[in-house]
Amino acid sequence: GENVEQHPSTLSVQEGDSAVIKCTYSDSASNYFPWYKQELGKRPQLIIDIRSNVGEKKDQRIAVTLNKTAKHFSLHITETQPEDSAVYFCAAPSGTYKYIFGTGTRLKVLA
Amino acid sequence: GAVVSQHPSWVICKSGTSVKIECRSLDFQATTMFWYRQFPKQSLMLMATSNEGSKATYEQGVEKDKFLINHASLTLSTLTVTSAHPEDSSFYICSARVPSGRETQYFGPGTRLLVL
């Protein structure tokens, strides 16, 4: 089955700097990779996703890149703001419609 | 669109009692819903896949007799934690897949369960 690894587990950045979170997956057949943001005690919110037919997708300050050969995908947040502080999870499909989640990255943006 | 609700948002119960958690898709029909549990500062662990009109599919290590799942309609799945014990205390979150050929899952707000 699919195995997802996520790094780093914690990340502190100064406000305005960029943050990068990386995930690797094991199943070369995986073709859809979402990123979720979870604030304390709240539900995970989908922030961006990418399909395997593209290498990069951008939405304002958030971008995701995918390297199918190396089997990794990364979340990039530019011009970070304090409200970006949260836990971010990547996921990869496993079986029919199921997700396997990464272990999460706790991002802290320092004002 | 793609709104998922959960009820209750939190529950405290005595050890040995059963607790039912509801997950509803409010503006779409969900043939497939998923149940996760999340311990503090940990990731989401998939417990089971709930399929409308058929039996749920449980992940390895999840006791199907303890975590009863029913998906009787296209908008409602329920998770019943039977004979709850303190180690069952956790944050339970459901998600639903929008049946449009996409893989995107939308999450409910979660239910915090505390078993005394």
Which residue of chain B has the CA closest to A106?
B41
Which residues partner with B81 through β-bridges?
A: B19, B67
Which residue of chain A has the CA closest to B50?
A98
B46, B49, B109: residue with CB nearest A43: B109
At residue B58, what is the residue type?
Y
Give the gap in angstroms from C-alpha B14 to the nearest C-alpha of chain A.
Answer: 22
**Do A21 and A7 contact (CB within 8 A), yes or no?**
yes
Q: Given pLDDT bands bounded at 50, 70 and 90, which one contains residue A97? A: confident
Distance CA A48, CA A45 (A): 9
| CB neighbour list of residue B100: distance below 8 Å, 6 or more residues apart | none
Which chain A residues have a beta carbon less than 8 Å from that of B106?
A: 46
B104 touching A, CB under 8 A? yes
Strand-pair category, A10-14 with A105-110:
parallel
What pLDDT, in 10s, does the model give residues A43-95?
999 999 999 888 999 999 999 999 999 999 999 999 999 999 999 999 998 87
Cα B17 to the center of its chain, rounded Å: 18
pLDDT for A42 equals 93
A37 touching B, CB under 8 A? no
At residue A52, what is the residue type?
S
pLDDT for B1 equals 65
Give the other-Cβ count within 10 Å of B75's Cβ.
19
Distance CA B69, CA A64 (A): 35
| CB neighbour list of residue B66: distance below 8 Å, 6 or more residues apart | B81, B82, B83
Element spanning B43, H or E: none
pLDDT for B19 equals 97
Q: For residue B71, give both structure tokens.
A: 């998906």
At residue B37, what is the residue type?
R
Distance CA B39, CA B21 (A): 17
Q: Mean pLDDT of all residues in chain A?
A: 94
What pLDDT, in 10s, does the model give residues B65-113?
999 999 888 899 999 999 999 999 999 999 998 776 567 889 999 999 9
B43, B46, B103: residue with CB nearest A102: B43
Is B33's pLDDT higher than 80?
yes
CB contact under 8 A, A89 and B44: yes
Q: For residue B60, give both structure tokens.
A: 């390895």
Percent of chain B scoring above 90 in pLDDT:
75
Distance CA B97, CA B19 (A): 24
Q: Given pLDDT bands bounded at 50, 70 and 90, which one contains residue B28? A: confident
What is the pLDDT averaged over residues B22-36?
92
